[in-house]
Amino acid sequence: MDKVIKTIAEELNIKEKQVENAIKLIDEGNTIPFIARYRKEVTGGLSDEILRDLGERLAYLRNLEQRKEEVVKSIDEQGKLTDEILQAVAIAKTLAEVEDIYRPYKQKKKTKATVAKAKGLEPLANIILEQKETKDIKEIAKEYINIDKLSEEDKKNKDKVVATAEDAIGGALDIIAEIISDEPKYRKQIKKICYREGLIVTKAANEDEKSNYEMYYDYNEAIKYIPSHRILAINRGEKEGFLKVKIEKPEDKILNYIERDIIKGDTQFTSMLKETVLDSFKRLIEPSIDREIRSDLTEKAEEKAIKVFGKNSKQLLLGAPIKGKTVMGFDPAYRTGCKIAVIDETGKVLDYTTVYPTEPQNDIEGAKEELLKLIDKDKVDMIAIGNGTASRESEMFVADIIKEAKRDVHYVIVSEAGASVYSASKLATEEYPDINVSIRGAISIARRLQDPLAELVKIDPKAIGVGQYQHDVNQKKLSESLTAVVEDSVNKVGVDVNTATPSLLSYVSGINNTIAKNIVKYRDANGKLKNRKELLKVPKLGKVAYEQCSGFIRIYDGDNPLEVTAVHPESYEATEKLLKKIGFNKNDLKNKEKLEDLRNKLKNVNVEEMSKELNVGEMTLSDIIEELSRPGRDPREDMPKPILRNDVLKLDDLKEGMVLSGTVRNVIDFGAFVDIGVKHDGLVHISEMSDKYIKNPSDVVSVGDIVKVKVIKIDRERQKVALSMKI
């Protein structure tokens, strides 16, 4: 365990004590959001992201240690365990290294070498490998001819017959080829050479065939430099049958390296051993090394893509809510018509309809009349337009009609990723049993503007769609990573227990789907919860779950004003003592006039001294002070607000050099896509993000950011716009 702790501490650049304490908390069953928020003193303030990485590495390293034990036990049972093997296993850092050490001792399927061993040719192989024998090898090999010693039945079986000296030598060389292939130090060094000097080479499967992969039809790049997005693109091109992929390596260098180790001077065995080294490399080593390198590159690329996807999703989930507004959801389409749903500031559906302003009907007048009537009747403040099919045509239509509205109305483009998945889901049917599937998408789009987090948790995180190649990566890992992202987002914001859906509640630390449904049933039967302690009356929500979830639950207009904050019940006593010491009480949190005075007093608290007086940790006290300074604060209020538009831009309106505001829609390895109000998002390439060197675009921008960009190139034919943030 000490070794695991030391490794994680070095990798994450944190103290061993922090790792040890975090592992203890994880093993005790505490959730990551709970540890990150309420056990800062114990972990030294590790963030949820570092704790997630720590948890992942812990699982891998424990798995590695377990596999090491299994391998040592298996080799020992075969009576072949040596101090060298024990040492090699002990220092192995990856599962692949452990498997390379175990390879010679693995139970093998039938191979040329196992057949030769069964014929009794192993001693001959050892003679050739030792290269000491001066007697002609063919003479020695004759001693292994066995055809006269076999029964008539066995003579018919090729796997048992050694008919000539050449057969015997051939079988012995097959054994040597496998010995070379199984040698861990060769495999390790060959991989090292490939990673240092190898190339990924791609060719067209059919040069005449047009595809998205034409840049890879005659392409090569050094393995050590190839970025993850290109690995995933090449993999996809190969899978779809457009590309042929191979790894080019310095073959002579590799063969020389093995030969130097195997061949001892110039003997009668030299040429046959050179041929055997080549055979071993081509037939046994190269195919498996190529597979391992491709697999390793893919795994690392997928890991990076999952991280990018997770980061983008988190930004989308934590998008600033638009509160207190009546919103019209506009789900664009062509043939089937645009679905419209109006919801009030609480999310309640007021009206819904379908209009046909787009092709083929083009009923612009009828649609205009219907929408202006709804804007007036329901006092609509904002229109949320989904960004899918027919989005820009719908945007032009909306921009035109709001000029004629009696009210001041703005519109916003909203990501509709996953809305159709949600519309047809069991959850949507339960929420809106009497509303048509097609209208539910418009309701979801409207609600996403009001509260992105509450709406997006209803959708499978994979369907949110802000990443690269999310459908190509390991789906189990992607799902685990995104579930963690949603959990961290939900717990960062906190959840109003009296209005939250089971979907939202199920992501709260310590609450599973069953408990989430039980909370809603309890709420329906008993009315609003008045305090957090009442949660203990909910079936299946015991003391352990209560400890994990209570700090993330919010109760507005309840018995205890502290419960609109993230202050945990275990800190109530210390919090009330703090308030008393500075001349306030918890009920003052409800008094707007006293709040400003309270904030000023809290600013002057000496955290170090006060934490000793109250017997709480300094980090915990700092968090309590922050919560009391802004009771009921939604952390998403600090996020950039969506750009409100009232007119539309066309590609023809753009000119090079034009400076515009835009919303970052997606961040990928090579840049970011920014919505500037034309049909297609423009690309800011990583080289155009800053005058300084940038390693990763997400160091500069996040999904949802509002950025100033300059138009640097317009490709009208391909409908592409290149942007720069270097203004």
Dihedral sign for Cα atoms in the order 29, 33, 34, 39: positive
In a domain, 524, yes or no: yes
Residue 262, class by beta-carbon neighbours within 10 Å (0-12 exposed, 13-18 middle, 19+ buried)? buried
Q: Does 119 lie in the same domain as 94?
A: no
In a domain, 577, yes or no: yes
Distance of CA 607 to the CA centre of its chain: 38
Instruction: Calculate mean pLDDT across residues 172-188.
Output: 94
Distance CA 43, CA 28 (A): 14
Q: Does 117 lie in the same domain as 98?
A: no
Look at residue 708 in the predicted model and tell me its pLDDT.
Answer: 86
Whether pLDDT at 303 is above 70:
yes
pLDDT class of 351 with cuts at 50, 70, 90: very high
- Per the model's pLDDT, the better-predicted residue between 391 and 222 turns out to be 222
In a domain, 75, yes or no: yes
In a domain, 290, yes or no: yes
* Range with lowest mean pLDDT among 354-368, 371-385, 470-484, 637-651: 637-651
Whether pLDDT at 564 is above 90:
yes
Distance CA 386, CA 381 (A): 17
CATH number of the domain where residue 524 is located: 1.10.150.310
Percent helix, strand, coil in the chain, to 5, is 55, 10, 35
Residue 361, class by beta-carbon neighbours within 10 Å (0-12 exposed, 13-18 middle, 19+ buried)? middle
In a domain, 263, yes or no: yes
Distances (CA, A) of 273 to 116, 230, 263, 440: 17, 40, 7, 72
Q: Name the residue range of residue 594's domain.
A: 557-631
Distance CA 710, CA 206 (A): 39
3-class state of residue 328 by DSSP:
strand
Amino acid at 442: A
Look at residue 599 in the predicted model and tell me its pLDDT.
Answer: 87
Q: Does 160 lie in the same domain as 26?
A: no
Q: Does 90 lie in the same domain as 142?
A: no
Q: How many CB atoms lie within 10 A of CB 48?
A: 21
* Range with lowest mean pLDDT among 13-17, 39-43, 376-380, 421-425: 421-425
Q: Which of 70, 105, 140 is the last residue of a domain?
A: 105
Work out how many domains the chain is built from and give that number: 6
- C-beta separation of 349 from 435 below 8 A: yes
- C-beta separation of 331 from 338 below 8 A: yes
Whether pLDDT at 149 is above 90:
no
pLDDT class of 34 with cuts at 50, 70, 90: very high
Look at residue 535 in the predicted model and tell me its pLDDT.
Answer: 96
Six token digits for residue 195: 């990673």
Look at residue 567 in the predicted model and tell me its pLDDT.
Answer: 94
Q: Does 222 lie in the same domain as 161?
A: yes
Angle between helices 592-603 and 618-629 (to 10 degrees): 150
Residue bearing tokens 């390293």? 61
Q: Does 179 lie in the same domain as 93?
A: no
3-class state of residue 160 by DSSP:
coil
Distance CA 410, CA 380 (A): 9
The pLDDT tens digits for 544-554 are 999 999 999 99
Beta bridge partner(s), residue 331: 339
- C-beta separation of 197 from 249 below 8 A: yes
- Per the model's pLDDT, the better-predicted residue between 475 and 76 turns out to be 76
Cβ-based neighbours of 659, under 8 Å, separated by 6 or more = 708, 709, 710, 711, 727
The pLDDT tens digits for 266-281 are 999 999 999 999 999 9
Six token digits for residue 629: 């300074």
Look at residue 648 in the predicted model and tell me its pLDDT.
Answer: 61
Look at residue 593 in the predicted model and tell me its pLDDT.
Answer: 81
In a domain, 314, yes or no: no
Beta bridge partner(s), residue 721: 714
Q: Does 18 lie in the same domain as 143?
A: no
Beta bridge partner(s), residue 203: 218, 244
Look at residue 109 in the predicted model and tell me its pLDDT.
Answer: 84
Instruction: Calculate mean pLDDT across residues 69-85.
Output: 92
Instruction: Calculate mean pLDDT across residues 393-400.
Output: 88
CATH number of the domain where residue 223 is located: 1.10.3500.10
The pLDDT tens digits for 654-671 are 888 888 888 888 888 888
Look at residue 69 in the predicted model and tell me its pLDDT.
Answer: 94
Q: Does 95 lie in the same domain as 198?
A: no
- C-beta separation of 24 from 62 below 8 A: no
Q: Residue 44: which region, alpha, beta or left (left: phi > 0; alpha: psi -120 to 50)?
A: left
3-class state of residue 635 by DSSP:
helix
Distance CA 395, CA 332 (A): 9
Instruction: Calculate mean pLDDT across residues 529-546.
Output: 96
The pLDDT tens digits for 490-518 are 999 999 999 888 989 999 999 999 999 99
* Range with lowest mean pLDDT among 466-480, 593-607, 666-680: 466-480
pLDDT class of 176 with cuts at 50, 70, 90: very high
Residue bearing tokens 């045509």? 393
3-class state of residue 45 by DSSP:
coil
* Range with lowest mean pLDDT among 294-303, 612-621, 650-659: 650-659
Residue 281: CA count within 13 A, CB half-sphere: 21
Instruction: Calculate mean pLDDT across residues 382-391.
Output: 87
Distances (CA, A) of 71 to 3, 61, 63, 296: 18, 15, 12, 22
Please tell me the pTM assigned to this model: 0.80
Q: Which of 450, 468, 488 is the last residue of a domain?
A: 450
Whether pLDDT at 339 is above 70:
yes
Whether pLDDT at 318 is above 90:
no
Six token digits for residue 283: 């037939």
Cβ-based neighbours of 433, under 8 Å, separated by 6 or more = none
Q: Does 116 lie in the same domain as 99?
A: no
Residue 343: CA count within 13 A, CB half-sphere: 24
State the chain's mean pLDDT as an integer.
90
Residue bearing tokens 């015991």? 542
**In what side-by-side order are the strands of the sheet with 338-343?**
349-355, 338-343, 327-331, 382-386, 410-414
State what percent of residues in the chain have pLDDT above 90: 55
Cβ-based neighbours of 522, under 8 Å, separated by 6 or more = 529, 537, 538, 539
Look at residue 677 in the predicted model and tell me its pLDDT.
Answer: 77
Q: Does 271 lie in the same domain as 128?
A: yes
Look at residue 705 in the predicted model and tell me its pLDDT.
Answer: 83
Six token digits for residue 174: 């097959």
- Residue 659: its H or E element: strand 659-668
Look at residue 649 in the predicted model and tell me its pLDDT.
Answer: 67
Look at residue 30 in the predicted model and tell me its pLDDT.
Answer: 96
Look at residue 545 in the predicted model and tell me its pLDDT.
Answer: 96
Q: Which of 304, 339, 365 is the last residue of a domain?
A: 304
Tell me the pairing of strands 218-222 and 199-204.
Answer: antiparallel
Distance CA 202, CA 204 (A): 7
Whether pLDDT at 466 is above 70:
no
- Per the model's pLDDT, the better-predicted residue between 421 and 408 turns out to be 408
Q: Does 203 lie in the same domain as 96?
A: no
pLDDT class of 562 with cuts at 50, 70, 90: very high
CATH number of the domain where residue 706 is located: 2.40.50.140
Look at residue 467 in the predicted model and tell me its pLDDT.
Answer: 62
* Range with lowest mean pLDDT among 54-63, 315-324, 635-644: 635-644
Whether pLDDT at 221 is above 90:
yes
Amino acid at 47: S
In a domain, 407, yes or no: yes
Q: Does 514 lie in the same domain as 424?
A: no
Instruction: Calculate mean pLDDT across residues 679-701.
Output: 86
In a domain, 484, yes or no: no
